[in-house]
Each structure stands twice: as C-alpha cells, then as structure tokens.
Amino acid sequence: GAVVSQHPSWVICKSGTSVKIECRSLDFQATTMFWYRQFPKQSLMLMATSNEGSKATYEQGVEKDKFLINHASLTLSTLTVTSAHPEDSSFYICSATKRGLAGGREQYFGPGTRLTVT
C-alpha cells in the first residue's frame, strides 16, 4: 500500500498563533512531498513542493515566511502556518510520491487537516 497520514485532522487556533501540521508516509519512502490548500468547492491549489534535506519550492503567491516547510526525513514533512489569520482557514492536504517509482507520478494523499483560525 501507500498510506499517508496527517496530524492533526482538525485544529482551531487563535489569530496570531502558529500551527504545525505533520505529514507522514507510513509504509514507503517519499521522494517528494507536496502541500496543497483547498477552499470550499474549489480545486486543490499547490502551495509548495518539498524534498528531503533541501529547501521547499513555493508556488507563486505563497509566502515562504508564513508557511514554513521542513522535510526532515524521507517519511516526514511538516507545514507550520505562522501568525495565522482567519483568511488562512482552509483544508490543508499533503501528498507524497514514492521513491524509486519510474514513469508515472501518482500522488498518495493524506486525509487532510481542517484549520480554523478565530
């Protein structure tokens, strides 16, 4: 299988605080991990691409100082939303691709984290 977990599954925080979301590949080593954000009735919007041991690549319009990504190992990536504001409230989803998989690039998604900033 290819199971990806996320923790927490939901979190409520106060405006101005920081929140860390963990993404783990449980039964495989991930070449690359991706972080997405999804607003209601919208598609997945890629925020950043992360490889183990190197700096994340952020998509245009995503503030790297606000959304800190740390890819500490081949099975763990974290996203920290710093100084969160109500407009950061969204559904954050990570995904991973398998190491050594040639050809297609199917992604294995975590269950998502619902962030609400009050």
Partner 1 sequence: SQKIEQNSEALNIQEGKTATLTCNYTNYSPAYLQWYRQDPGRGPVFLLLIRENEKEKRKERLKVTFDTTLKQSLFHITASQPADSATYLCALPNYGGSQGNLIFGKGTKLSVKP
Could you tell me the smallest distance in angstroms from the CB atom of residue 110 to partner 1? 5
Residue 6 contacts residue 21 (beta carbons within 8 Å): yes
Residue 5 contacts residue 109 (beta carbons within 8 Å): no
CA 109-111-115 angle, 5° bins: 120
Nearer to partner 1, 8 or 111 (CB): 111
Could you tell me the smallest distance in angstroms from the CB atom of residue 3 to partner 1? 11
Nearer to partner 1, 5 or 83 (CB): 5
Could you tell me the smallest distance in angstroms from the CB atom of residue 26 to partner 1? 14
Provide DSSP, 80-94: EE-S--GGG-EEEEE
Could you tell me the smallest distance in angstroms from the CB atom of residue 17 to partner 1? 23
Distance CA 15, CA 22 (A): 20
Residues contributing to the site for partner 1 (CB under 8 A): 4, 6, 31-32, 34, 42-44, 46, 49, 51, 57, 59, 91, 93-95, 97, 103-112, 114
